[in-house]
Amino acid sequence: MRRYRDDVDLQLTGKRAIVTGGSKGIGLAVARGLSAEGVDVVIAARSAEPLEAAARAVAAETGGRVIPVPTDTGVDEQVRALVDRAVDELGGIDILVNSAATPWSAGKPADWAATSDDLVRREVEIKVLGYLRAARAVAPHMISQGWGRIINISGLGARQANSIAQTIRNVSVSALTKNLADELGPHGINVTVVHPGRTRTERLTDRLAKKSAETGVPVEELEAELATNSLRRIIDASEVADVVTFLASPRSIAINGDAVAAGGGIPGPVFY
């Protein structure tokens, strides 16, 4: 087992986690971060082959126990089966990280005239109701043991009115988080929402590599053009995972029901 920070004990050794959307992107980075801190991790995603490959890779890197369970979080029966499997395999559940959602695409309709009912329904079904299903399934186990952490991955689209469906889904995750936090807090369960901004994941890396091949512009320059945050650099998925790993730990007790932005800072606005 290798910790990210050798001089800081997050008190996570021996904890048990489920990470949805764990086969790639931020979910995979979170699974890697938790496993490196000594957490036994069940990762879930819809496609079995990449999920199993991700589990093997993380386990080889961290020496931890990583179990792949193919799951469609749009189906309540599959979510309940995921939690039952995790409890059977690990003996219980301490941490849930909800990260299973389709990435928002710049090509999707954004204005009111083009935003269909079906588009909004799809976004809410996957990202909001999927998160609720998972939280609903794990909460009784956390309540019975008097401790738990639920972290919902949303996005800084919650703070920008540039797309109706994107804003609705991300704001809804924040609302879900706050309701769960108030209800579950007295049982020793903290619930938080993390808002990544533009993040370096496999998807972004592949897109920029393709664009670089087409235009001849180096990937580093293409990234720099996208880095409009206060740091003027793209935040890596592993850096978002660092934030989530802390929130999953006992040391995060003082943070509950709130949103934590993990996008490198938005220039200008004051959020309070």
Query: Per the domain annotation, does 268 fall within a domain?
Result: no
Centre a 10 Å sphere on the Cβ of residue 220 and count the other Cβ atoms it contains.
9
Cβ atoms 260, 243 nearer than 8 A = yes
Residue type, 32: R
Which percentage of the chain shows pLDDT scores above 90? 80
Query: Per the domain annotation, does 149 fall within a domain?
Result: yes
Residue with tokens 């003082």: 254
| Residue 219 sits in the same domain as residue 141 | no
Query: Sheet holding 259-262: strands in order across?
Result: 66-70, 40-45, 16-20, 95-98, 148-153, 189-196, 259-262
| Residue 206 sits in the same domain as residue 193 | no
| pLDDT tens digits, 27-49 | 999 999 999 999 999 999 999 99
Query: Per the domain annotation, does 8 fall within a domain?
Result: no
State how far the Cα of 4 lies from the Cα of 29, in Å rounded to an integer.
12
Q: Is the pLDDT of residue 108 over 80?
A: no
State how far the Cα of 47 lies from the Cα of 59, in Å rounded to an integer.
19
Q: What CATH number is given to the structural domain containing 185?
A: 3.40.50.720
Q: Is the pLDDT of residue 1 over 60?
A: no
| Residue 136 sits in the same domain as residue 188 | yes
State how far the Cα of 127 lies from the Cα of 132, in Å rounded to an integer.
9
Measured CA to CA in angstroms, residue 206 lies from 25, 71, 210, 211, 219 at distances of 12, 25, 6, 9, 10
Buried b (16+ CB within 10 A) or exposed e, 137-149: bbbebbeeeeebb
Residue 188 main-chain phi, psi, to 5 deg: 85, 20
State how far the Cα of 67 lies from the Cα of 52, in Å rounded to an integer.
8
Confidence of residue 106 (pLDDT cuts 50, 70, 90): low
| Residue 127 sits in the same domain as residue 220 | no
Closest CA to 158 of 252, 240, 271: 271
| Residue 113 sits in the same domain as residue 219 | no
Query: Per the domain annotation, does 241 fall within a domain?
Result: yes
| pLDDT tens digits, 189-239 | 999 999 999 999 889 989 999 999 999 999 999 999 999 999 999 999 999
Confidence of residue 254 (pLDDT cuts 50, 70, 90): very high
Q: Which domain holds residue 248?
A: 16-198+237-262
Strands (E), the chain: 16-20, 40-45, 66-70, 95-98, 148-153, 189-196, 199-200, 235-236, 259-262
Number of structural domains (the chain) is 2
| Residue 220 sits in the same domain as residue 183 | no
**What does the chain come to in residues?**
272
Query: Per the domain annotation, does 221 fall within a domain?
Result: yes
| pLDDT tens digits, 155-192 | 998 888 878 888 999 999 999 999 999 999 999 999 99
Query: Per the domain annotation, does 33 fall within a domain?
Result: yes
C-alpha angle 127-130-132 in degrees, rounded to nearest 5: 105
| Residue 49 sits in the same domain as residue 121 | yes
The whole-model pTM stands at 0.93
| Residue 139 sits in the same domain as residue 217 | no
Give the tokens for residue 216: 């001849």
| Residue 127 sits in the same domain as residue 221 | no
Measured CA to CA in angstroms, residue 150 lies from 45, 117, 236 at distances of 18, 29, 22
Residue type, 221: E
| Residue 210 sits in the same domain as residue 106 | no
DSSP structure class, residue 71? -
| Residue 89 sits in the same domain as residue 206 | no
Cβ atoms 66, 39 nearer than 8 A = no
